[in-house]
Amino acid sequence: MTEKLEKLKASVRAKVEHPFRVIKQQFGHAKVRYRGLAKNTARLTMLFALSNLWMVRRQVLGARG
C-alpha cells in the first residue's frame, strides 16, 4: 500500500514540476526579479502560457502540416 501511494505522489510531482523546468531552462527564468507584484504575476502568467505551448509544440506543428 505504501509503495502504491509513493508511486502516485511521484507521478503527480513529475506532472507539476515539468512546467517549472521548462520555464527555468527554456526561458531563462532562474533568477527572481523584484519588479512589483503585478509585474511578477504578469510575467509568470505569460511564462506558464509559453511553457504550455512549448510542451505541445509537436502536436501544434504536426496539425499544421
| Residue 55 CA: distances (Å) to CA of 2, 6, 46, 48, 61 | 32, 26, 14, 10, 12
Q: Grid coordinates in use for 29?
A: 527564468
Looking at residue 43, its pLDDT comes to 85
Report if pTM > 0.75. no
Q: Which CA distances in Å does 43 have to 1, 5, 57? A: 41, 35, 21
pLDDT tens for 40-64 read 888 888 888 888 888 888 887 887 6
pLDDT at 37 over 60: yes
Domain ranges of the chain: 2-64
Of the pLDDT bands very low, low, confident and very high (cuts 50, 70, 90), residue 3 is very high
